Amino acid sequence: MEWNAALYDNKHDFVSEYGKGLLEFVPENKRQRILDLGCGTGILTAQLANLAGEVIGVDHSKNMIEKAQRQFSDIQFMVCDALALPFEKEFDVVFSNAVFHWISNHDALLNHIYKVLKPKGLLICEFGANGNIKTIENAFANACKGLGYDYKPKFNFPATKEFSKLLEKNGFVIDRIYDYDRPTPLKDGEQGLANWMKQFFASEFAVMPEDIQATIIKKVQELTKETLWNGNEWIADYRRLRAIAHI
């Protein structure tokens, strides 16, 4: 799936806004190097640059990296697969916000992150926890099924205990790890949930005619309205897992 960078920043800027809370765990040290793994359009990368001597932002999306480079020309950005990082023992901190749930193999991911960290290096990450967007995803699956499409869940939302075991298996010492509910308002009133689906289910919609897409969006809205619509805006049922660990 290729990301729409403009739509992401205009309609889903809550991703980086909520990610700012993760910055408080990053030590300020002008001698350190930070890798922003899954940097998107570079909003948080620019803030990380204030806490380090050097920060590099990497993302799998070419569109995201191109926009990041336009916005922050003084920072180095690279198109890069999280499971094929071209670094070894180069970073004091790996920072990642809202990325890990897009990666199916967390065991391999943590192994790669371990390899790019210096001794005593720090991992600071947050992503979707077990149960994240459960209401939305279930409604989407039901709407697809009713129209002859088979939705296969693509997100990896682990339980805290499960992710803890993987951290330890890959050589990390856990400083803190927890999950929490984070109900998230979506922009644009009645269009908020539709905008969200067009971005985060883009690969599913890509194989559907426009009339089918519209039908599915309407059905999901109907199925979730009682739970997620507050009369003024849609509140997505987000749950997050936050982990701070070192090697």
At residue 151's C-alpha, the angle toward residues 198 and 17, to 5°, is 40
User: Does the domain formed by 5-246 have CATH 3.40.50.10860?
Assistant: no
SS3 177: strand
Task: Please state, in angstroms and rounded to a whole number, the distance separating the CA atoms of residues 187 and 165.
Answer: 36
Query: Which value, in Å, is the radius of gyration of the alpha carbons in the chain?
Result: 18
Residue 97 to residues 14, 61, 78, 101, 171: CA-CA distances in angstroms? 12, 15, 17, 10, 21
Q: What is the pLDDT along the chain (247 residues), one digit of tens a residue?
A: 454 545 544 544 555 576 678 999 999 999 999 999 999 999 999 999 999 999 999 999 999 999 999 999 999 999 999 999 999 999 999 999 999 999 999 999 999 999 999 999 999 999 999 999 999 999 999 999 999 999 999 999 999 999 999 999 999 999 999 999 999 999 999 999 999 999 999 999 999 999 999 999 999 999 999 999 999 999 999 999 999 999 9
Token pair for 208: 């559907």
User: 144 with 150: CB under 8 angstroms?
Assistant: yes
Can you give the residue ranges of every domain in the chain?
5-246
